[in-house]
């Protein structure tokens, strides 16, 4: 992640310089279990964290936002630090943030996180300010955050705040993926490796096939927006974290290139880094000339994909098939006669239809229309709670299969 340095200066040259530079960011967890269980923090830092005083040797403003539930069904706490550019100007600085996040009901689950920012060279007379984001992931509960930032000259800025992570009464049954009163690092990259998952007993594990659409809803757009990729991968991670699922078959496809970009068959975990490499290899903005000459090529590709992946000849036979991705709009619908002739799999079929803006595309898409033949069940996913409700319903139906 590269948080941008934004500036509000009077001179155009300085404004452009501030806007075009960036800080390199990284976050790590202080794992005291590897240090013999002893908290080893510099005494001066520990004193700042313990003191209720807000230090401002390094001038800064810390702005917190309330914890929000994301598509990974975890709460995300966030903040941003505003620093005057003149106070971090020079040949390049190094900023270190130390956070202590304490669940008030279970202080033994306290966690320390370290953020590091490498600041590029900034002119001495630069006007404007830098805005550096930060955050962490938490389960339901109430938390105390003790925060400090230190620069290379040992100047300190500190802040302290509390925050709540609570579900609305109507959403208390959502299958959240972090236990109450626990803390973790913020996600680093959408396709980073998934931590191990505690599964149910091996004789009860389910095998699901997942079809993932990595294509924008608008066929005129060449690629998905970053937040759409984050949402789709978070939906995929929620499926991968489900304790009752132990085997996965994955088919990822892209409609611009009209091809399967990645697949795994009957594996015990999804290889997210490999999937990320396949997604990043999609040739943005490139369309085969022959496809431009054939307006029905997309419909034919999707027809072939569905008849193969949702057809009766599955090996091994999955316990369920889950399709996910943005709405897929085609000029011509998939011919249902072709789907009926090919037949359907003898397992439940679910469609987690991610629709970021339902007002723009409220109508049924090509996959949703085809799902009638397969007697599949479609869920519209606009908000994280929609995903939680869909996951709970899917798992209930799979358990009753």
Report pLDDT for 143: 97
Q: What is the DSSP letter of 317?
A: P
Residue 227 backbone phi and psi in degrees, to 5: -70, -30
Contacts of 364 (CB under 8 A, 6+ apart): none
Q: Is the pLDDT of residue 264 over 80?
A: yes
pLDDT in tens, 181-214: 999 988 767 888 887 888 888 778 999 999 999 9
> Which pLDDT belongs to residue 357?
82
Please give the residue that has the higher pLDDT: either 27 or 74: 74
Share the mean pLDDT of the chain. Answer: 84
Residue 303 has a pLDDT of 94
Q: Under a CB-based contact definition with an 8 Å cutoff, are residues 95 and 149 in contact?
A: yes
CB atoms within 10 A of CB 353: 25
- Angle 226-240/384-399 helices, nearest 10 degrees? 30
Helix (H, G, I), strand (E, B), or coil: what is residue 270? Answer: coil
Q: Mind giving me the DSSP string for 273-297?
A: HHHHHHHHTS-TT---HHHHH-TTH
**Angle between helices 272-280 and 226-240 in degrees, nearest 10:** 150
Q: Are 246 and 206 in contact (CB under 8 A)?
A: yes
Give yes or no for residue 24 having a pLDDT over 80.
no
Phi, psi of 69 (to 5 degrees): -80, 125
Of 61-65, 219-223, 322-326, 386-390, minimum mean pLDDT range: 219-223
Alpha helices (H) along 168-253: 226-240
pLDDT tens digits, 51-89:
999 999 999 999 999 999 988 889 999 999 998 888 887
**What pLDDT is recorded for position 4?**
39
Distance CA 220, CA 285 (A): 9
Please give the sequence-ordered ranges of beta strands (E in DSSP) within 280-337, or none if there are none: 320-326
CA dihedral (114, 71, 141, 65) in degrees, to 10, reads: 60
Cα separation, 99 vs 263, whole angstroms: 40
Which residues make beta-bridge pairs with 248? 208, 267
* Contacts with 260 (C-beta within 8 Å, 6 or more apart), sequence order: 251, 252, 253, 305
Q: Is the CB of residue 151 less than 8 Å from the CB of residue 57?
A: no
Residues pairing with 62 in the sheet: 81
Contact between 264 and 271 under an 8 Å Cβ cutoff? The reply is yes
How far apart CA 395 and CA 315 sit, in angstroms, is 22
């Amino acid at each position: 992640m590269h948080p941008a340095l934004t500036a509000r200066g009077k001179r155009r040259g300085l404004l452009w310089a501030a806007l075009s530079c960036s800080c390199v960011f990284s976050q790590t967890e202080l794992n005291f279990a590897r240090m013999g269980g002893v908290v080893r923090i510099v005494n001066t830092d520990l004193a700042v964290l313990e003191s209720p005083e807000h230090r401002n040797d390094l001038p800064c403003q810390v702005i917190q936002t309330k914890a929000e539930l994301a598509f990974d069904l975890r709460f995300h706490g966030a903040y941003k630090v505003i620093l005057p550019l003149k106070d971090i100007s020079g040949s390049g600085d190094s900023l270190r943030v130390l956070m202590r996040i304490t669940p008030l009901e279970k202080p033994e689950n306290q966690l320390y996180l370290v953020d590091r920012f490498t600041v590029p060279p900034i002119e001495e007379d630069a006007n404007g300010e830098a805005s550096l984001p930060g955050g962490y992931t938490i389960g339901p509960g109430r938390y105390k955050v003790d925060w400090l930032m230190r620069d290379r000259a040992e100047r300190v800025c500190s802040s302290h705040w509390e925050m709540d992570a609570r579900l609305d009464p109507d959403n208390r049954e959502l299958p959240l993926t972090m236990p109450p009163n626990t803390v973790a690092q913020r996600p680093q990259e959408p396709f980073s490796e998934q931590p191990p998952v505690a599964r149910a007993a091996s004789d009860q594990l389910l095998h699901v096939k997942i079809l993932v659409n990595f294509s924008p809803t608008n066929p005129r757009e060449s690629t998905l927006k970053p937040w759409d990729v984050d949402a789709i991968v978070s939906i995929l991670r929620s499926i991968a974290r489900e304790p009752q699922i132990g085997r996965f078959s994955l088919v990822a496809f892209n409609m611009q290139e009209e091809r399967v970009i990645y697949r795994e068959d009957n594996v015990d975990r999804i290889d997210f880094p490999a999937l990320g490499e396949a997604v990043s290899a999609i040739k943005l903005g490139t369309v085969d000339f022959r496809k431009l000459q054939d307006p029905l090529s997309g419909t034919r590709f999707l027809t072939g994909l569905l008849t193969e992946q949702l057809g009766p000849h599955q090996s091994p036979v999955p316990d369920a098939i889950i399709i996910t991705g943005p709405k897929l709009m085609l000029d011509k619908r998939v011919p249902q006669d072709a789907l009926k002739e090919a037949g359907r799999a003898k397992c439940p079929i679910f469609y987690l239809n991610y629709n970021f803006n339902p007002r723009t595309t409220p109508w049924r898409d090509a996959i949703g229309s085809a799902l009638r033949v397969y007697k599949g069940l479609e869920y519209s996913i606009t908000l994280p709670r929609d995903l939680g409700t869909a996951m709970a319903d899917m798992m209930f139906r799979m358990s009753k299969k």
